[in-house]
Amino acid sequence: MSPAEAKTQIQALTAELKQHNYNYYVLAMPTIADFDFDKKLEQLNKLEKEFPEFADPDSPTQRVGGDVTKEFVTVKHRWPMLSLGNTYNAQELVEFDQRIRKAIGDSFEYVCELKFDGLSMSLTYEAGKLVRAVTRGDGTQGDEVTTNVRTIHSIPKKLDKGEFPELFEIRGEVFMHLKAFERLNKERTDNGEVAYANPRNFASGTMKLQDSAEVARRPLDCILYGLYTEKTLFKTHWESLEAVKSWGFHVDNHSALCSDINGVLEFINKWDKDRFGLSYDIDGIVIKINNYSQQQELGFTSKSPRWAISYKFKAERVETELVQVTYQVGRTGAVTPVANLKPVLLAGTTVKRATLHNADEITERLKLHEHDTVFVEKGGEIIPKIISVNLDKRKPDAKAIAYITHCPACNTALLRTEGEAAWYCPNDEGCPPQIVGKMQHFTGRKAMDIDGLGDETIETLFKQGFIKRISDLYNLHEHSVELKKLGRFGEKSINNMLEGIEKSKQMPFEKVLFGLGIRYIGETVAKKLAFHFKTIDKLMAASLEELVAAEEIGERIAQSIIEYFGNETHQQEIEKLKVQGLQFVVVENEVKLASEKLTGQSFIISGVFEKFSRDELKDIIEQNGGKILSSISAKLSYVVAGDNMGPAKLEKAQKLNIPIISDQELIDKVS
């Protein structure tokens, strides 16, 4: 066979087998027998070995898997994978639109995209080759699942067209088509295996399989919707979608560009009806500001972008019986009621429990009685919630459910702070769920990230009397012999645990502070406090006024800090942790300043600039001793304004008489 003939045959077989794969996996309508398919695949494989120069990088022969992953490596995201804010009604979308207009004016567009109910995935390409695939994880870091992702037919392993950058990330959603899900679930039940509840769980479970050959046998698809690069290549999100589509990526063809909120609402109404005709599940619509400069102007909260929002379709509602109300005690002492329900199928999942949030939910809003018939919705929540009670089915002699007065774990009388909905158990040093919860929080990924100390291990160590408080973790090495005698831990797991504990001593101050579990102190607040006060001693000694003076610290947070450090037991605990060598001082990297001309001055950058990017202006300010603030206040020295500065920022700056300067005036200040 001549090279030209081989090339023609390889291309024809590749195209034919890709179509057969689509018919089988996506449409669940095979048009060829398995035996015939395998013979054609064998023929293609033979030709590719004889003429490797003509093989398609995405050839069906390359999608069979076979590698076994012993464990998934945790990888930090170059760009955080933030979640989106949610809304469930049109009025909240109109309010979102009004906030956008107030911030950036009236000249902008929206991009509307279907919200796939799947598993978020980030793909990294270098020189056009897929080099890494990472799950969303906690948004900061996730599991590397590259071997498994390589088996997905719609994800290119190598790009062969388009002007793509040397290095970029592209993000999307891995999911399973409904007919493929039904077919595979039937196979599982026929084989006596447990069926998956829904396609999303099936897709997520498949991505965590260690044998990529098994992954390849489970048909997954992937829609890509977000490009990330070091240097912005396009002016708008729509342009980037068109570009990545031309590079060979599978992009949602149903996306739409809308000039105003009315267009967005029309798009939502259309897909609220048409979604049932799709071959896959969607649970809503994602709405994004199209222009990248305007996205940058709007910025982010600590959890989500201000320039995007997710509209969730109305949830399915079912009726079932309330069996009883039980109570859970969290690490902060908050006592949360939980409704235990007669099992019922809801949105593809069997529901047995629903959240009740707080006492008012039971006694005021729902006015629950024993064995009430209730309406339950999932509404985007992981745990379903009770929406209302079917009063027509309430028994005449049913007793009203009263919220408990004492802690279900330690029997301490519950307290409720004025203005708050939750009841708390104040026995934070003697209530087992609080003690265990605090240690689980401390060792968790977002705090001290201690390998080998999962939630179950913490519970076991507490029940066996090895740990009563956080500082006890750092004395576990003294009990290694006793731990081995338990039979619960092998020598390797004990060594891993002790190594993880020792390694955690190097975690920075802000992680330790967050890990202490002080009420209202989340990750972001812990970081701001650490970098403002620099040491734990200064933070502990700070007055209410000094705390409130720190960026984004309100009176409620300040009061909580004072109460926490005013407790003698907490003071003793911190001293023990200091002795163990934990970090209670901020280690700041030394920055070599170009000058100190902006020392003591603070800035906000707003708008679009012709000569510089906003990041370049930020670097100029910081390299000359200046500080970037997150919001306009009386403390601000200057606003560096470009074109299309947000009207709300402009109005506030003018009201506070804050000088507004151009990028050139900033350059003049440091020249």
Give the residue ranges of DSSP H helices in 464-508.
Answer: 480-486, 491-503
Within 10 angstroms of residue 133's Cβ, the number of other Cβ atoms is 24
Within 10 angstroms of residue 594's Cβ, the number of other Cβ atoms is 14
Tokens of 355: 């959240």
DSSP E strands in 530-585: the ranges are none
Active site residue 115: yes
Helix and strand numbers (H, E) in the chain are: 24, 21
Distance CA 82, CA 338 (A): 29
Distance CA 618, CA 639 (A): 12
Q: Which residues contact 206 (CB under 8 A, 6 or more apart)?
A: 148, 176, 215, 218, 220
Give the bridge partners for 535, in sequence order: 585
Distance CA 280, CA 538 (A): 55
Tokens of 522: 């989340």
Burial 257-271 (b: 16+ CB within 10 A, else e): ebeebeebbebbeeb
| Helix, strand, coil content of the chain in percent (nearest 5) | 40, 20, 40
Distance CA 534, CA 630 (A): 20
38, 458, 603, 668 from 573: Cα distances, Å: 66, 18, 39, 52
- Choice among 39, 70, 76, 115 that is catalytic: 115
Task: Say which amino acid occupies 56.
Answer: D
Residue owning tokens 């590719």: 48
- The distance in angstroms from the start CA to the end CA of the chain is 71
**Is the distance from CB of 328 to CB of 384 less than 8 angstroms?**
no
Q: Which residues contact 277 (CB under 8 A, 6 or more apart)?
A: none
Give the bridge partners for 373, in sequence order: 321
76, with CB counted inside 10 A (0-12, 13-18, 19+), is exposed
Distance CA 194, CA 207 (A): 18
Q: Smallest Cα–Cα separation from 114: which of 279, 243, 347?
A: 279
List the catalytic residues: 115
